[in-house]
Chain A
Amino acid sequence: MTATQNFHEELEPERYELAAPPPYRFEADRREFFKILGAGILVVSALSTVHAAQESGAAKRKPGGELPQEISAWLHIGENGKITVYTGKAELGQNIRTSLSQAVAEELRVSISSIAMVMGDTGLTPFDMGTFGSRTTPIMNLQLRKASAAARELLIGLAATQWSIDRKRLLAAQGKISDPDTSRSVDYATLVKGQQLTQTLPAEDPLIAAAAWTVQGQSLPKVDGRDFVTGKHRYPSDLKLPEMLHGKVVRPASFGATLTSFDAHEAEQMPGVTVVHDGNFIGVAAASTELASRAAAAIHAEWKSKPQSSNKELFEYLKKNSIEKKERAVGGESSRIESGSMENGLKSATHRLQQSYTVEYIAHCPLEPRSATAQWSGENVTVWTGTQRPFGVRGELAEAFRIPEERVRVLMPDTGSAYGGKHTGEAAIEAARLARAAKRPVKLNWTREEELTWAYFRPAGVIEVTSGMRADGTITAWEFHNYNSGSAGIRTFYDIPNQLIEFHATRSPLRQGSYRGLAATANHFARESHMDELALLVKMDPLEFRLKNLKDERLRAVFEAAAKKFGWGRAKTYAGQGFGIGGGFEKGGNVATAVEVAVDPATGAVKVVRVVTAFECGAIVNPDHLLNQIQGSNIMGLGGALFEAIEFENGRILNGRFSKYRLPRFSDVPQLETVMLDRKDIPSAGAGETPMLGLAPAIGNAIFDATGVRLRSLPLAPNGVKKV
């Protein structure tokens, strides 16, 4: 393993790691499967050891040790011709239910409508670490393609045997195997009748090359779109079970407060109200949310709070509270990479620059807050909840209730999004606790205030950059320290001989975790802002300066494409107009973003007028969904770039509601233009995160271009730009 790989692994900041999944007893499961599904063909897709390690969070195990092959998906073709795919991945709006169906349809040569996807159900689908990190497309998509190709080859084999001819003469198309010579054909349903065939991957199956795709690469609409436009789809918060009660939790006065005493007398008198007290937990279950809320409000609880730090001293706090290496931090371990010598690099420099950048905590704000419905039957509990990690939540429930995981089933109905914010199972545990006491199913829908307070946030951070550059604009030295926000995207992709890059894990005043793009947003913001600051020192055009220090051909291509479409270098046409560019590389995707802002000369208000994004993530699976993700990332990213920030004081959130926490709205949306580079020769990578990385620095750089004011904090201009 090279030093670089090692570095990369050490820096992967997965914040909610699981232990390895339980060893899979495949033989038993397979028989179970045929019992449930009836006869047919079953293809079991096992992950390669590398992916198994990543997916199970075991990446840090010593290399060389044998890792078990993990089952990643099942695919079943039934006697009725129905194809059922089982994957632990979850649908949160990224439209993987559609794109994964496309992968299956392509290789199996069937129509999309004959495929049913069973997703994120711990009772039915194979273990899955979770849906995050843009890994669904590079890993699951490929697994399903392989499984489907294997099934196709099995079917061809069956037909060949039946007709006693050479399988090479046979073709699979439209759910049938046919023999072009005799023009006879047989459909899959007929072929699998009475069969109980299984095959385990990986096998060397001929996959269809991207250039020959007919279903993948197409813009198919969301497979079950009609259920969404008619209001028929049931999100987790919409579920209703017979006899179901509604839950409400009494929240502590501040983070980390302990319950000292409470009086629930009044609540207990209310009809049909169950009050549950267990340690620090108090909650109620009642026939309606109305009544549950009234009962919860009638409980008088005393909490002992402890003094905590506040927004005002946030960045000082982070700098002072870094954690020694190997001590377990929520933000991952501290880590460091060094190449060349900073000392030499700075010595050979004509210009030296030292700057510090900051990012605030921000909230995910999925439009559907956390929700869970729990039902006990004896010692077994079933929970329907919106989470990116159904198997992780299963583990949390097992731990909370001290029961084995086999007694817990977690199902994940397609959910009102997450953006990295729903890795955890708080609502699931609360609903299950209430349901156990009430002896009836309980649904608990968090309010927006709860979601904005008791979930977790994107880490805040401080980034310090020291650089050296020769008079001709060649960067010679690059030192980059990130305190707390994380190490995703921390490495510079510019060619700099002398580097020192360090992530400092830090104690965090607020509960923090994953977020779309993780720390890559913060790291790109600091790096790409600093690049502009360096370009200014040598009076070079920011784009030209970047290209001078950049060899990577894929990244150069997106910068050039964005600049071309944007019309980079053209003259300004009005006062307050500014242009900026920024870009980067993360998780297999390359992005460059060029932005036009208009800063009102009188008020300093910033309007992002136009955003041009060039993006390349290998072969494109579904152009329209990709475009949707790119546009969506940019609109979401606008909030964190310009105005979103969590305000907190002494263990309380001060702006935990939509009337106080501003999100991007229709009028904020700029003119969005996108260039998608389709590299059919490069395996497809995920695209839900990386497209937003260039936006914040590009806006900061454009504001500088418009006003001469350099902003080094995210959000950049919650109250406009003040001239200094």
Chain B
Amino acid sequence: MAGIKQINVNGKNYEIDADGQASLLSVLREQLDLTGSKYGCGEGQCGACTVLISGNPRKSCITPVSAVGQKQVTTIEGLAKGDQLHPLQQAFLDEGAMQCAYCTSGMIMTGVALLNANQNPSASEISQFMEGNLCRCGTQPRIVAAIQKAAKAGKAAGQ
């Protein structure tokens, strides 16, 4: 497999040197030192590694870096605009939607993808969309509340 030399993450082009088979997660964490995306299982079961690729939520642990090509990758580190948190990041803080917070970046990235697709999700739509993300600490009810809160904030901002 040919080596991959370049990748666009959070609006920035990075030079990399990776085997095409290498997971996007390992490249982000080890080569770019973007460690906000977490490893939890390596087999697409927990969602701790979720990033957006062209706006779609993807589990970076099972995404070979060769599959990214010219597409834009967004990680948790690229979500805030300067000091201005994304409304969902703020909502996670407001709702206290974390304990150890190891799942948090994956939850937020998946939640952002949901809000991009559906500006007013119901609790059951949220829970369905988030089913692939595990929180072992059991903060799911707060995560649902945070997504709903961000949805409301988004609507208010849009008006």
Contacts and interface: CB of A to CB of B under 8 A. Distances in A.
Interface of A: 92-95, 219, 221-222, 225-226, 228-235, 237-238, 240, 246, 288-290, 365-369, 414-417, 419, 445, 447-448, 624-625, 628-629, 631-636, 657-659, 663-667, 669, 672
A285 to B, nearest CB: 14
B104 A416 contact: no
Give the secondary structure class of B's interface.
loop
Contacts of B144: 666
A221 B100 contact: no
A445 B48 CA distance: 15
Contact of B137 (A417, A448, A665, A669): A417
Interface of B: 19, 22, 26, 29-30, 33-43, 45-46, 48, 75-77, 79-80, 85, 89-90, 92-94, 96, 98-105, 108, 126-128, 130-131, 133-142, 144
B138 A447 contact: no
A445 B35 CA distance: 13
B43 A288 contact: no
Given A231-B75, A659-B45, A672 B141 contact: yes
Given A417-B102, A628-B142, A288 B134 contact: no
A369 B102 CA distance: 11
Contacts of B128: 666-667
B96 A222 contact: yes
Contacts of B46: 367, 658
A235 B39 CA distance: 11
B104 A228 contact: yes
11 contacts: A92-B100, A219-B96, A222-B98, A231-B77, A232-B36, A237-B38, A367-B103, A624-B96, A628-B96, A631-B139, A667-B127
Give the secondary structure class of A's interface.
loop
Nearest to A93: B100
Contacts of B39: 237, 369, 445
B30 A636 contact: no
B93 to A, nearest CB: 5
Nearest to A447: B42
Contacts of A669: 127, 138, 140-141
Given A289-B26, A367-B100, A632 B137 contact: yes
Contact of A289 (B30, B96, B131): B30
A636 B39 CA distance: 20
A368 B102 contact: yes
Nearest to A445: B39
Given A631-B138, A663-B134, A666-B131, A231 B36 contact: yes
A457 to B, nearest CB: 15
Contacts of B36: 230-232
Nearest to A225: B93
Contacts of B137: 93, 367, 417, 632, 636
Nearest to A448: B41
Given A229-B104, A289-B26, A658-B43, A367 B141 contact: no
A288 B30 CA distance: 7
